[in-house]
Amino acid sequence: MKLADMEARIQSARLLTYSAARMKDKGEPITKQAALAKLVASETATFVTHQAIQILGGMGYVSAMPVERHYRDARITEIYEGTSEIQRLVIAGSLFKEYGIKI
Active site residue 68: no
Total count of domains within the chain: 1
Q: Is residue 103 part of a domain?
A: no
- Name the nearest CA neighbour of 87 among 79, 76, 99, 75: 79
Q: Which domain holds residue 61?
A: 2-98
Of 43, 81, 85, 98, the catalytic one is: 81
- pLDDT 10s digits, 8-45: 999 999 999 999 999 999 999 999 999 999 999 999 99
Q: Using DSSP, state whether 100 is helix, strand or coil.
A: coil
- pLDDT 10s digits, 49-82: 999 999 998 887 777 889 988 999 999 988 887 7
Q: Is residue 57 part of a domain?
A: yes
CATH of residue 57 = 1.20.140.10
Contacts of 45 (CB under 8 A, 6+ apart): 13, 70, 73, 74, 77
Which amino acid does the sequence have at 74? A
